[in-house]
């Protein structure tokens, strides 16, 4: 997997609703395709994304096999204070991929 990519504004005004964009490179294998030898390729998907803003969960999504490879998700939250945004993607094997971003609220 490659490093998750996240786009967050550098500065926002207090109370402003702002957009967060996320992308992670992952094949999102559904478990329904077969390889060249006719064997089923095991399911391996990112099944959850959680975003915490200064430790408080502000977004969570459960993903299913119907989601395309390299899932892109965007969502909105409200700026309350400067701080840290923490993102965690979890796959079927229990591996977690993380990313952090700083937000400045004026």
| 8-53 pLDDT tens trace | 999 999 999 999 999 999 999 999 999 999 999 999 999 999 999 9
> Tens digits of per-residue pLDDT, 48-72?
999 999 999 999 999 998 889 999 9
From 69, 86, 80, select the one nearest 106 (Cα to Cα): 80
Percentage of the chain exceeding pLDDT 70: 98
Which CATH class for the 5-31+39-105 domain? Answer: mainly beta
Can you name the residues that pair with 67 across neighbouring β-strands? Answer: none
Distances in Å between the alpha carbon of 61 and those of 1, 25, 31, 42, 65?
Answer: 20, 17, 21, 22, 13
* Residue 95 pLDDT > 80: yes
Query: 2: pLDDT confidence band, cut at 50, 70 and 90?
Result: low
């Amino acid at each position: 997997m490659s490093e998750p990519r996240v786009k967050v504004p550098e500065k926002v005004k207090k109370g402003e609703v702002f957009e967060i964009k996320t992308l992670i490179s992952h094949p999102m294998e559904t478990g329904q395709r077969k390889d060249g030898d006719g064997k089923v390729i095991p399911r391996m998907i990112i099944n959850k994304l959680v975003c915490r803003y200064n430790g408080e969960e502000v977004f969570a999504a459960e993903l299913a096999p119907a989601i395309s490879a390299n899932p892109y998700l965007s969502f909105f939250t409200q700026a309350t204070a400067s701080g840290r945004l923490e993102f965690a993607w979890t796959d079927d094997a229990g591996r977690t991929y993380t990313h952090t971003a700083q937000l400045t609220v004026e």
